Amino acid sequence: IIAGERRYRAAQSIGLKSIPAYVLSISNESEIMEYALIENIQRVDLDPIEESEAFALLKSKYNLSQKEISKRVGKSRSLIANSLRLLKLPSSIKKDIKSKKITTGHAISLLGLKSKTQMLAIANRIINKNLSVRNTEQIVSKINMLSTSRIKGKKTAKSKLLNKMESKLIHKYGTKVSILFNKSKKGKIIFEYYTSDDLERILRLLNK
């Protein structure tokens, strides 16, 4: 039995004569481990970091792309991409996610910050002040605004509308997005990506 050992034992204990099952043709031990890992990911009791580590194992050990992982585990590609990004967080924040002190939504917002020091500081504020994900997004947006809106040595404040649009783009595309501009009202929108799969995912979304 590759997956479903507990269900098989439960069926035996209540005297079932037959159960629905898939019969698979497996070529090697590596493939057995891959199927077992996918089954493990689909359990509902995995915490977000355990799930991220499992996706990373599928990617590194079994050479699966984010698209292939998405198909095999039945989760969206953007969810896979964001989940893998959680592994870039400082270890203390990963522990906070595991202990449910902060949510995955908070963590994705924190990934928009440029330094681990900033991430740790805002994570502490989330816990101590019970900040919502929306509050966290606003704080992250303000921090990035102060660090990226200097043009020719002067600070240029973003409008509330631009900050709001920046937050929407970050959530829609599952990556850091910056809207930069100058006094002449010219500017640019910057999308950051972390892997070739991530770039392909963003381009697909932009083409829709």
Please identify every residue annotated as catalytic: 5
Q: Cβ-count burial of 190 within 10 angstroms (0-12 exposed, 13-18 middle, 19+ buried)?
A: exposed
Q: Which residues touch 153 (CB under 8 Å, ≥6 apart)?
A: none
- Kindly state the tokens that stand for 102: 């902060």
Which parts of the chain fold into alpha helices (H)?
5-13, 29-41, 48-61, 66-73, 77-85, 91-98, 104-110, 116-129, 133-148, 160-173, 196-207
Distance CA(38)–CA(80), nearest Å, equals 13
Distance CA(62)–CA(64), nearest Å, equals 6
